[in-house]
Chain A
Amino acid sequence: MSKTLTISLLEIVGSPLCVASEDGQKVHDRISGAMREGKMVVVSFLNVTSLTSAFLNAAIGQLYGEFSADEIREKLRVHDIQPDDRGLLKRVVETAKEYFKDPERFKRAKRVAMG
């Protein structure tokens, strides 16, 4: 069994426009499921032309409510992301870390993630 799962945003979203929060949720569910199984996850941004914070908050920001920053740093990688999109993702990550500093929010999010 492979230890690494590669996820293509283009394949999951079905479009180079990664803008909808709902599409971000689909991406999140795959990343989260794989990380819970102990896998490394590589998210490929190849051929993505547009991103929004709403999409990235749902896809990746949300992970900070389920996993520690150390776990995410260890298990998640991004590939083929354009320089300005990298900047946007960094902002989303920083915002998510700040958001989940509130322990109540973290507990609630964790409960939701665990079903």
Chain B
Amino acid sequence: MKISLPEVRHDQAGFEALVQLFARTQDCLLGKIEIDMVKTSWFDGDMCAAFGALLYRLGSNLNNVVLSNIQTPVERILSKNGFLSNYGRVRIPDTWGTTIPYQRFDVKDDRFFASYIEQEFVQRPEMPKMSKGLIKKFRESVFEIFSNSVLHSRTELGIFSCGQYFPKRHRLDFAVADLGIGMKRNVNESLGLNLTAPAAIEWATSARNTTKTGSIPGGLGLKLLREFITLNKGRLQIVSDNGYWCLDQGNAVTAALPFEFPGTIVGVEINTADKRSYALSSEVDETDIF
């Protein structure tokens, strides 16, 4: 089977291109799938998380995946972030340090993920000059996203991440994708409801809502992320099943994608020029916490 992939940007159209790829390949077993990238004139590095998840799923169904006709600029960026190393290409050095490498994790890899963020972002001198408070918030945000996948996705195939820094635009994009049960099933099974995928995402990102039922409370991670992104004037995108949800400049929009993604993708875009001092945003006294 040969499938042509259009350009993949980190926006609704980019996610539509990827779910279309999934729709065409989801039943493939023991086959050869050639993804022709001659028309892929652009590929945002952070979208490798979702793309990699789909290709990994194809591989788990014992398909042989080949990426062909990759245009040179796209090949360069996907080689720098280590994505193409998984598909027969040699990794090339990231001289300008604009990538956070593509990586797959298992659900038990919380600490490995934390070290990866430290080594590949926080401690790298070539990464954007961000205020200390902003770096801390970014780091905590991506940990919250990862924890969310660990706690809710029930994925057996792993969690995938990748990031890209755009220095001229002062934007840092980072995405985490899992191949789990998705928010719709999670929310509907927990609440006995029949929400659509976009409505389930909206529910999960709203205040105090949680699907947790055990002895450990939950329901804060996505809300904290939403609050931070709003203050930072960044962007937060979530795709789960056929639901698309985007928070941009404080406004949330939802849409139904034409096909499903077999899990959940959370993508954040941070405004790295943000000078807000997040460290001073709280004045809670130590004796007044409990």
Task: Report which A residues bind B (CB closer than 8 A).
Answer: 15, 17, 19-23, 25, 49-55, 57-58, 61-62, 64-65, 69, 72-73, 76-79, 81-84, 86-93, 95-96, 98-100, 105, 108-109, 112-113
Residues of A within 8 A of B146 (CB): 19
Q: Are B282 and A92 in contact (CB under 8 A)?
A: no
Q: How far is the CA of A85 from the CA of B139 in the complex (A)?
A: 13
Residues of B within 8 A of A25 (CB): 216
- Given A50-B136, A84-B136, A99-B210, also A17-B216 (CB < 8 A): no
> Would you list the 6 A-B pairs with minimal beta carbon distance, nearest first?
A87-B282, A20-B110, A54-B147, A99-B217, A109-B215, A53-B220
Q: Are B151 and A21 in contact (CB under 8 A)?
A: yes
Q: Could you tell me the distance in whole angstroms from the C-beta of A106 to the nearest C-beta in chain B? A: 10
Q: Are B290 and A96 in contact (CB under 8 A)?
A: no
Q: Are B216 and A58 in contact (CB under 8 A)?
A: yes
- Given A50-B140, A53-B221, also A86-B289 (CB < 8 A): yes
Residue of B150, B208, B212, B215 most packed against chain A (CB within 10 A): B215
18 A-B pairs with C-beta separation under 8 A: A21-B216, A53-B220, A53-B224, A54-B147, A54-B218, A54-B221, A65-B217, A76-B290, A77-B286, A83-B280, A86-B284, A86-B285, A87-B281, A89-B289, A90-B288, A98-B208, A99-B210, A100-B217
Residues of B within 8 A of A95 (CB): 208, 217-220
Residues of A within 8 A of B143 (CB): 17, 19, 50, 52, 54
